[in-house]
Structure 1
Amino acid sequence: MPKHDSYYLLLLWSIDDNIIISGPCVLFLGVYPDETKVCDLPHVNLSTSIYLYFLTLFLFIIPLSIIVINYFRIIRFRVNYIRPGQQADNHSNDRLRRNKFTRVLVTITSIYILSTWPFFVNIIGMAITFKSRREIRKLGTGIYLMSLVSFFSTFAVNVISPFVYIKFDHNINKKFISIIRQVLHKK
C-alpha cells in the first residue's frame, strides 16, 4: 500500500472514530427549560451511564494504557541498551542522558494523568449515581466546584502540554527558541 494511501486510511479511521465516540453526545446533552445557558446531561439514565463508561474507556483508559505500556517499553529498552564500542568514560554521560529521558517521559505522562483523571472520575461518578451536573450542584457548592474544576483541568492539558514539552524536551526547546528569534528579527 502506498504511503499516501495509508495516510488517508489513517485519517479516515480517525475521523470515523471521532464521530463514533463523540457523536452520541448529541443524544445526551441538552439544556433545562428554566436554565437555557447551561449545557448538561439533563436525563442521566442507563443509556447515558453506559455512554459515560464508554467515553471513559475510549478517551482515558485505552489511550493511557497505550501510552504507559509504550513508554515502559521505551524506558526498558533505553536502560538495557549499550551502544557498541562505547568507552567506559562515556558510559556515565550516557546513563545521565537516559535518566533525564526517563524523567521527561514520566513527568509528561504524570502531568497528563493528573490533569485528566479528575474529569473521568467525575463522569464515572455521574454514571454510577445517575446524577446530572445540576443535581450535583444541589449536593453542595464544594462538590459542584470540584466537578467544574475537573472539567476545566481536562481541557487545560491542551494548554499545558506545549509548555511542558518546551520545558523538558531539549530539541523542542531549541527549535522553539529558534522560531521565536526568527519571528522577533523579522519585525
Structure 2
Amino acid sequence: MNISVENNSLKEFYSKVYTYASLAALPLAVTGLIANLFLFYILLTDNFFRKVTYYLILASVISDIISTIVSIIVYTHVAGFTLDYILGSVLCKGVFFVAQSSYGISMMNLCLIATDRYFAIVRPLTRFYRIYKKRILISAEIMIWLLSLTVTSPKLIFMKVQRENTMMCEHDTITNWIASYLIAFIVIIYVIPSSIIALIYWQIVVHQKNYTQPGQCIGSESTEGKIQKRKFIRSLISINLSYILTTWPYFATLFGFAITRDSFIAVRNRSLAAFLLAFFSFSTTTSITILNPFIYFKFDANVRKSAKKVIKRLSLGLQETSSIVIQVEELPRS
C-alpha cells in the first residue's frame, strides 16, 4: 500500500515537472518564433542580404522556425494535459526528429559558413573556390539537409512514450544497435561540426591577429582598426561557444545512456538529480532555436542595423496611425 502511494506521488511530482517546464518554455518558444520570423523577414526583404552567406543563414532560420512551431505544439499539449497515448507517441517522435534535425542543420550550416569565411579571410586567392563558390555552397547545403534528416530519421522508429505516462518520451530499450547509433549520431551531429568550427575559427583568429596588409608597416594600424579586429575575434569566439557550451550537456547525457544502456525511467527512479539533468539538458538543446536569432542580432552588425531600421519604420508607422486616430476622434460631431 505504501509503495503504491509512493509511486503515485512520484508520478504526480514528475507530471508537475513536465507541466511547469512546458508552461515556462511556452512563452520562450513563442518569443523565439517571433524573433526567427523577424530575422526571416529581414533576410528575405533587405537587398543587402542577397549574398551566399546570408542565404545559408536563411536556410538555418527556416529549419529553426519549423522546429519552434513543433515545440510550441508539444508544450501546449503537455501544459494542457491533452496527451493520450497515440497523440503522445506522434508528438514524441515528431519533436525529437524535427528538433534534432534542425539542430544538425544549424550546426552544419555554421561549419559551412565558417568554411566560407575561412576562404574569404585566410585564403582569398584560392582560384577553385572563387570560381565554383556558389555551386559548392548550394550542393553542400542540399547535402546538409539530406544528411541531417537521414541521421535523425531512426528516432522516428525507436522513440516512444509510456502508456501509463504519456508525457515520458524516451528511447526504446537500448540494444547494441541503438547504442551504436546514438554514439554515431553524437559524432556526426555534434562532435565533428564542433571540432570543425573550433578549428576553422581558431585559424581565422590567428590570421586576424598576425595578418598585416601588404604595403602597411607593422604597428601602423589605426586604433579603430585594432578595436574592430578585437570585436571580430570576440564575435567568432562567442558564436562558437554559444553552440558548443549550450548543447554539450545533452550530448554528454545521451552518450551516458548509450554506454550504460539505462532507460530514462531507470534514471528517474534511481536519481532525481540525474533525471533533472537529463530532462533539462534536452530542453536547453532545443532552446538553441530560440537563441539563434538573438545571436545574429548580437554579433552581426548588418543584421542588427537592418533590424533597427525595420523597428524604427514600424514605430513611425504606429505613431502616424495613432495621430490619425486621435485627429479623427477630435473632429466635431454633427
| TM-score, scaled to structure 2 | 0.51
In the TM superposition, what is the alpha-carbon distance from 1:186 to its structure 2 partner? Answer: 3.5
Asked if 1:147 corresponds to 2:297, the answer is no
Write out the 4+ residue segments of structure 1 that deviate beyond 6 Å after TM superposition: 1-5
In the TM superposition, what is the alpha-carbon distance from 1:101 to its structure 2 partner? Answer: 1.0
Residue 74 of structure 1: aligned partner: 204
User: Which stretch shifts more, 65-74 or 115-124?
Assistant: 65-74
Asked if 1:41 corresponds to 2:171, the answer is yes
Q: Deviations over 1:149-179 (max 9, x none)?
A: 1001111122123223322333322122112
Residue 94 of structure 1: aligned partner: 225
Report the residue type matching 1:118 in the other structure.
Answer: P
**Residue from 151, 154, 158 that aligns with 2:289:** 158
Residue 25 of structure 1: aligned partner: 155
Q: Deviations over 1:8-61 (max 9, x none)?
A: 644542332123201111222112232233221131121111111011101110
Matched residue of 2:222: which SS? helix
Number of aligned residues? 187
Distance 1:175 1:102, change over 3 A: same
Contact 2:179 2:259 in 1 (8 A): yes
In the TM superposition, what is the alpha-carbon distance from 1:147 to its structure 2 partner? Answer: 0.8
Q: Which runs of no fewer than 5 residues in structure 2 stay unpaired? A: 1-130, 319-334
Residue 299 of structure 2: aligned partner: 168
Residue 105 of structure 1: aligned partner: 236
Matched residue of 2:287: which SS? helix
RMSD: 2.4
Contact 1:32 1:42 in 2 (8 A): no
Distance 1:84 1:179, change over 3 A: farther
- Name the % identity: 27
**Residue from 269, 276, 287 that aligns with 1:138:** 269
Contact 2:148 2:189 in 1 (8 A): no
Larger radius of gyration: 2
Contact 1:115 1:156 in 2 (8 A): no
Matched residue of 1:119: which SS? helix
Q: Deviations over 1:71-130 (max 9, x none)?
A: 112112211222234475543332222112111111221121121000000100111110
Q: Which runs of no fewer than 5 residues in structure 1 stay unpaired? A: none
Rounded to whole Å, the distance in 1 between the matches of 2:141 and 2:199 is 24
Rounded to whole Å, the distance in 2 between the matches of 1:135 and 1:150 is 17
Rounded to whole Å, the distance in 2 between the matches of 1:5 and 1:103 is 31
Rounded to whole Å, the distance in 2 between the matches of 1:4 and 1:94 is 30
User: Which stretch shifts more, 88-97 or 170-179?
Assistant: 88-97
Rounded to whole Å, the distance in 1 between the matches of 2:180 and 2:214 is 53
Rounded to whole Å, the distance in 2 between the matches of 1:24 and 1:138 is 27
Residue 48 of structure 2: aligned partner: none
Residue pairs, 1:111-126, within 5 angstroms: 111-126=242-257
